[in-house]
């Protein structure tokens, strides 16, 4: 499922850190890597474009060497134009499994700065996207073996969550050590009129989580923990990630595309912006 990946390169500290971190995808079977340097000619004066090209080539060379040392077969390419469309087309034509992009937290508010290439990719991709966070301040995460030692799978039992769970199952087959399956009883939907049924809801959903746990443990030797909490989904997910220093979240997104999610302030979008962990976003069934 993860054999061929696209890594989107930028000339930044976050991008360099991202390249170092994606060695974990080797454990998921990734062998081929296309390292893309994105360049929008409309943003740069034509007089300096050749100078930038030389910088890009040097950046690609350095990052390619890192990926080669990690065991990847690497190709490099500089692309320009409508980056969202270009990257999507390359991913589709080349049958790439996932698009990897670096992300860093905004220093003022602690939220991910969704600008540049990351912005375009998140809002337009039809392929799974892995946003690798720069965790240089968190030595516990950085010194762990890789980004997938422990993954968090938040589920609302929707169709999109079911699609994302198929990826979790593949990751378990490849040897992920621990999975936490997490469901949040959404306070905004339960309080006050259904609060008296919270115990009932917990019992029903615990049974559903147990079935997911059983599925995973049939696939491989893996530690699986199930958790249910009551509160705001985004806040509870971020809190759990910080409590247990979980390096990777795997979750589904809405089926009609990311733009709708932005205006609705979806859980997946907020997790991408605010969680300290890297995030693997799995798009659901996308309708036109």
Q: Are residues 171 and 276 in the same domain?
A: yes
Residue 5's region, left for phi above 0, alpha for psi from -120 to 50, else beta, is beta
- Of 134, 167, 185, the last residue of a domain is 134
Q: What is the CATH number of the domain that holds 244?
A: 3.40.50.620
Cα–Cα dist 22/148, whole Å: 10
Q: Are residues 148 and 21 in the same domain?
A: no
- What predicted TM-score, i.e. pTM, was given to this entire model? 0.88
Q: Are residues 237 and 161 in the same domain?
A: yes
Cα–Cα dist 100/121, whole Å: 10
Q: Are residues 145 and 249 in the same domain?
A: yes
pLDDT tens digits, 31-88: 999 999 887 666 555 555 677 788 888 989 999 999 999 999 999 998 887 777 888 8
pLDDT tens digits, 168-184: 999 999 999 999 999 99
Q: Are residues 20 and 117 in the same domain?
A: yes
Q: Are residues 111 and 162 in the same domain?
A: no
Q: Kindly list the distances between the CA atom of residue 187 and the CA atoms of 98, 196, 253, 260, in Å, as whole numbers in the listed order.
A: 33, 12, 20, 22
**Per-residue confidence at 272, pLDDT binned at 50, 70, 90?**
confident
Q: Are residues 55 and 172 in the same domain?
A: no
Q: Are residues 182 and 60 in the same domain?
A: no
105 strand-pairing partners = 112
Q: Are residues 70 and 177 in the same domain?
A: no
Please give the tally of structural domains in the chain: 2
- Of 119, 134, 149, the last residue of a domain is 134
Q: Are residues 174 and 250 in the same domain?
A: yes
Q: Which domain holds residue 47?
A: 1-134
Q: Are residues 96 and 196 in the same domain?
A: no
CA-CA-CA-CA torsion for 205, 206, 211, 212, nearest 10 degrees? Answer: 80
């Amino acid at each position: 499922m993860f054999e061929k990946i696209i890594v989107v390169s930028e000339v930044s500290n976050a991008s360099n850190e991202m390249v170092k971190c994606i060695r974990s995808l080797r454990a998921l079977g990734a062998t081929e890597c296309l390292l893309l340097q994105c360049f929008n000619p409309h943003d740069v004066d034509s007089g300096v474009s050749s100078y930038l090209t030389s910088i890009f080539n040097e950046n690609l060379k350095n990052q390619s060497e890192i990926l080669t040392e990690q065991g990847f077969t690497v190709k490099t390419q500089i692309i320009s134009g409508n980056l969202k469309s270009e990257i999507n087309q390359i991913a589709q034509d080349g049958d790439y499994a996932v698009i990897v992009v670096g992300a860093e937290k905004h220093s003022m508010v602690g939220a991910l700065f969704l600008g540049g290439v990351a912005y375009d990719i998140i809002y337009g991709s039809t392929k799974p996207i892995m946003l690798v966070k720069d965790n240089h301040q968190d030595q516990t995460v950085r010194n762990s073996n890789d980004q997938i030692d422990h993954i968090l799978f938040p589920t609302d039992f929707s169709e999109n969550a079911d699609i994302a769970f198929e990826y979790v199952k593949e990751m378990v087959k490849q040897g992920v050590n621990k999975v936490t399956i997490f469901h949040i009883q959404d306070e905004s939907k339960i309080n006050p009129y259904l609060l008296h049924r919270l115990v009932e809801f917990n019992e029903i959903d615990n049974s559903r989580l147990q079935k997911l746990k059983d599925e995973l443990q049939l696939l491989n030797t893996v530690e699986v923990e199930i958790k249910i909490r009551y509160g705001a989904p985004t806040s509870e997910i971020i809190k759990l990630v910080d409590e247990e220093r979980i390096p990777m979240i795997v979750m589904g997104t809405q089926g009609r595309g990311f733009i709708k999610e932005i205006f609705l302030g979806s859980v997946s979008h907020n997790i991408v912006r605010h969680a300290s962990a890297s995030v693997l976003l799995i798009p659901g069934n996308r309708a036109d």
